[in-house]
Structure 1
Amino acid sequence: MLALILGALLLLVTACGGGGGSGAGDGDSNDGKGAGKVENAASVAVVTIAPKDEAKAVATTGALKVSADKGKLTTVTVQDDKGNPVEGKLTADGTSWEPLRHLAGATKYKVHAIAKDAEGRESAKDTTFTTLVPKNTFIGHYTPEDGSTVGVGMPVSINFTRGITEPEAVEKAITVTAEPSVPIEGHWFGNDRLDFRPEKYWAAGTKVTVKLNLDGVEGRPGVYGEQAKSVTFTIGRSQVSTVDASAKTMKVVRDGKQIRNIPITAGAPSTTTYNGQMVISEKYAVTRMNGATVGFGGEYDIKDVPHAMRLSTSGTFVHGNYWASSGTFGSANVSHGCVGLRDIRGGGNNGTPSAWFYNSSLIGDVVIVKNSKDKQIAPDNGLNGWNMSWSEWIK
């Protein structure tokens, strides 16, 4: 019995040992020279990522590039330290990738890239780097306010805290979209103000979204944006009012229908009112108007002007007037360039034409002045870019 057991063990050892003898040698020869080596060989594709791993103070534009040699990129993912992805574009031949936009300042990024060689074998690389910490920064002060409902003439207007010498880079970092969709274009007034608008007034009910992706944008040498914000606002009903300075009336049109014709007083012959399309940019239930602040010296200083709505930066308002006789409105132009409506002292909801118009108006509503013996208002004097043709605007 013991002999049988020993014989069986001997056979088992011989069988196992035989698998590692001459047969194993043949197998090793195939692994070294045959198809087995091709299947298990390393990829010849080489992934290169710039900047180098763990690099510091990296520029926010132009520094990040991913490329593949002896292969094509199949995967490139870039994320910041909060997990936000960086969009990029792969070249048609698959050998190079670059981000579509600038990177944020003072931010750590992680890069993961994979390339395949001609045999389909993959090569991967992972790196991290941190962008520069800006010493000098700028932001954009925007209007209208987030969440507001405004009139059909309201542009998106952004005033920058530093003069911009790289307007294309800054404008590229700002997107304005509308629902329903409509083409929207930007226009620079000088080097510190950028406005956006469609060709015609917004349609009532439009939802507008503004994305300020300024963080990391080099707006001028050594000066970087530090703002990343999304703003939305809604266009309310359509209201466009037309002041006829000669006829001394203002027709108020709501959603295409005239709802009121109001007697007004416009600028006197020596202080005429600007012609043109103007947008209400501010509303004050009561405000002070001092002629010295708009170049009229001490001609007037009224501390309690009621129902005032600004139409220009230079001081044009449509406002209540309680100091002129009621017979003035609709019969004489006596103002210093503003459009006056009959009112009483103290303002409030007092039933006068001025109170009605104030309560019926939104910031962003349009007031058009015609037939005044004055020039057309400059498009940058207030939110009044509508006084430029579309071809001028997009030039």
Structure 2
Amino acid sequence: MNGRPISGASVGARTRSGKGVPALVLGLLLLLVTACGGGGGGDSDSGSDKGGKQDSGQADTKVSQAVVAITPKNGADDVKTSGALKVTAAKGKLTEVTVEDTKGDPVEGKITDGGASWTPSGHLAASTKYTVHAVAKDSEGREAAEESAFTTLTPKNTFVGIFTPEDGSKVGVGMPFSVRFTRGITHPEDVEKAIKIKTEPAVDVRGHWFGNDRLDFRPEEYWEPGTKVTVSLDLDGVEGRPGVYGKQAKKVEFTIGRSQVSTVDVKTKKMTVKRDGKVIKTIPVTTGAPGYETWNGQMVISERLRVTRMNGETVGYGGEYDIKDVPDAMRLTTSGTFLHGNYWSGDAFGNRNASHGCIGLRDQRGGGDRNAPAAWFFDRSIIGDVVIVKNSNDRTVAPDNGLNGWNMSWEKWTA
């Protein structure tokens, strides 16, 4: 061979003696030299930005500084249904809080204090297991999560609300939603908050307490015909009085029917029946005799009895009367005022007031004649219709004597 080098294509070949350097080794050596020297004038800071942060392709292994705390602690039982549940975040802000029962039903709540805490919007149900999942982020956007599960107390003493009208019913424009509780309530705000009423179309509906065991709801004026009312009784877990909890969770729906408002004039001894604002009939009546005058005021039909027995002993009149087969009776007050059929007062209707305080319309014993005035009115009336009495010598009926809260001004009702 002459001493000239072989062409570049033969760099990887060995010498005849077999002692040549492999091309792969040469390549590695060149790569090492390039890496050590920074190579080709490239940026010497290519491994990090000028702020010293790690390359975007490298995982951030730092732990979030946010700390999530859940009260009550995981595994707690006999937890109070109000005031015990709270979620907080330190060194960060809450971004997500989910609380559910075993059925997957959520507990409503909201994050407050700029993300520092979360509290439920209402009470929890009794004897129920809940799970909590909460997430918070620190100032760098790193997340920290915490989970917990607890069970609420099982109450030894409970109460329920007995309500009217019934679910699915159609009622008159004067019908309030009335709840009577089986135990006296000493925490009325908590109980009232647990009863939610929605209407279609929307109308402002407010509650008013009569004593400590009855709560009625109504709008300022009579309901508009056709209004649909939905009531949510979310009493399960509400502490109505110390150590006494509600055990009722029920939805009640009813509809307002046509408007029927009838006015009884004690002086003229006539009742004018208006349907949707138009007079449809005028009926002769008899009302309370002197000394037994009928209440004045707005009264709502709360009960309808096709035939009943009326005994003076049940309303404080001793043995003054005991009348069987009284037809077409409709209750107006709890104390015993009825509008009913009368078959025993002869020609009193439209001529003289002869009752013990009730409003009587001519009828047949047992109500066999459906064309009689009392039968006609009964067949065209529903629970919640309004009967107004005027020009009586007695005072106005008390708002809680029956479903008669319309005799209270809106200002007093909402006070």
TMscore range, shorter length:
over 0.9
Per the TM alignment, residue 178 of structure 1 is displaced from its structure 2 partner at its CA by 1.1
- Give TM-score scaled by structure 1 length: 0.92
1:59 equivalent to 2:77? Answer no
Contact 1:108 1:130 in 2 (8 A): yes
C-alpha deviation, 1:16, in angstroms: 12
Which residue in the other structure is 2:408 paired with? 388
Structure (1 or 2) with the greater helix fraction: 1
Change (3 A) 1:337 1:41: same
- C-alpha displacement of 1:67: 0.5
**Which ranges in structure 2 are unaligned for 5 or more consecutive residues?**
1-12, 39-46
How far 1:93 moved relative to its partner? 1.0
Give the secondary structure class of the aligned counterpart of 2:114: coil
**Secondary structure of 2:367's aligned partner:** coil
1:350 aligns with 2:383: no
Q: Secondary structure at the match of 1:336?
A: coil
Shift of 1:346: 1.7
Secondary structure of residue in 2 paired with 1:55: coil
Amino acid aligned to 1:95: A
Counterpart residue number, 2:93:
72
Query: Paired residues, what number?
Result: 389
Contact 2:363/2:369, CA 8 A, preserved across alignment: no
Matched, 1:175 2:196: yes
Cα deviation digits, residues 36-70 of structure 1 (max 9, x gap): 48932110000000000111011101100001000
Say whether 1:221 aligns with 2:214: no
Counterpart residue type for residue 391 of structure 1: E
SS at match of 1:35: coil
**Residue type of the partner of 1:382?**
G
Q: Equivalent of 1:273, from 252, 275, 294?
A: 294
- Give the superposed CA RMSD: 2.7
| Partner Cα separation in structure 2 for residue 164 and residue 16 of structure 1 | 86
Q: Could you tell me how far apart the structure 2 residues matched to 1:256 and 1:44 are?
A: 69
Residues 216-235 of structure 1: CA distance to partner in whole angstroms, max 9, x if unpaired?
A: 00000000000011100000
What CA deviation, in whole Å up to 9, does each residue of 1:338-388 have, x standing for no partner?
000000112145210000000000100000000111011000000000000
Q: Which residue of 1 aligns with 2:178?
A: 157
User: Structure 2: how far apart are the matches of 1:60 and 1:296?
Assistant: 48
Structure 1 range deviating more: 83-92 or 148-157? 83-92
Q: Secondary structure at the match of 1:268?
A: coil
Residue 119 to residue 357, structure 1, CA distance change in 2 (3 Å)? same
CA distance in 2 between partners of 1:293 and 1:230 (Å): 35
- Which segments of 5 or more consecutive residues in structure 1 lack a partner in the other structure? 24-28
TM-score if structure 2 supplies the norm length? Answer: 0.88
Question: In the aligned structure 2, how far is the partner of 1:293 from the partner of 1:17?
Answer: 112
4+ aligned runs moved over 4 Å, structure 1: 7-18
Q: How does 1:362-381 map to 2 (within 5 A)?
A: 362-381=382-401
Select the residue among 298, 321, 343 that pairs with 1:300.
321
Paired letter, 2:79: V
> 1:26 corresponds to which residue?
none
